[in-house]
């Protein structure tokens, strides 16, 4: 499947379903990839401009590197190390938020797998982006 293009930008739905793209270094679930792509489509056009794609690619690799630093092999990141991992990607969270993330992304209550860590990071980025937009609207 070849992604359709609009203004030389990849179509998000086609790109997220493209197995060749998914195998080009992402090595993660289509759900995570699709959520990341849609989150970064700032203008809602269904396409990613070059800068949007660059942001996606940099975020993905930063989050994945962080996962590998803090993970215990195939087990994932311990919930005891989750706050450190989150801090290292640039977010400071309080105790209540940490426990909500653990409840949402650590089904066994002990470890967070790679895809769930990526979704967790994505959620934190979305919340941070939304709060920045709200702050800008107020000022």
pLDDT digits 0-9 by tens, 33-51: 777 777 777 777 777 788 8
Q: What is the pLDDT of residue 135?
A: 43
Q: How far apart are CA 121 and CA 63, in angstroms?
A: 7
Percent of residues, the chain, with pLDDT higher than 70: 73
Is the predicted pLDDT of residue 10 greater than 80, yes or no? no
**Residues 53-62: tens digit of each pLDDT:** 888 888 889 9
Full set of structural domains in the chain with CATH: 5-138 (1.10.238.10)
User: What average pLDDT does this structure show over 5-32?
Assistant: 55
Report d(CA 112, CA 99) in Å as an integer: 13
| pTM, full prediction | 0.72
**Distance between CA atoms of 47 and 64, rounded to whole angstroms?**
23
CA–CA separation, 114 vs 125, rounded Å?
A: 16
Residue 60: CA count within 13 A, CB half-sphere: 22
């Amino acid at each position: 499947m070849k992604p359709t293009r609009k203004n030389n930008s990849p179509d998000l739905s086609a790109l997220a379903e493209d197995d060749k793209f998914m195998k080009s270094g992402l090595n993660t679930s289509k759900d995570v990839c699709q959520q990341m792509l849609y989150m970064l489509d700032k203008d809602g056009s269904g396409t990613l401009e070059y800068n949007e794609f660059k942001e996606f690619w940099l975020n993905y690799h930063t989050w994945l590197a962080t996962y590998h630093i803090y993970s215990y092999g195939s087990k994932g990141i311990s919930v005891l190390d989750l706050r450190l991992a989150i801090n290292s990607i640039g977010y400071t969270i309080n105790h209540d938020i940490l426990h909500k993330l653990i409840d949402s992304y650590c089904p066994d209550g002990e470890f967070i797998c790679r895809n769930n860590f990526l979704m967790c990071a994505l959620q934190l980025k979305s919340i941070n982006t939304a709060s920045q937009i709200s702050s800008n609207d107020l000022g």
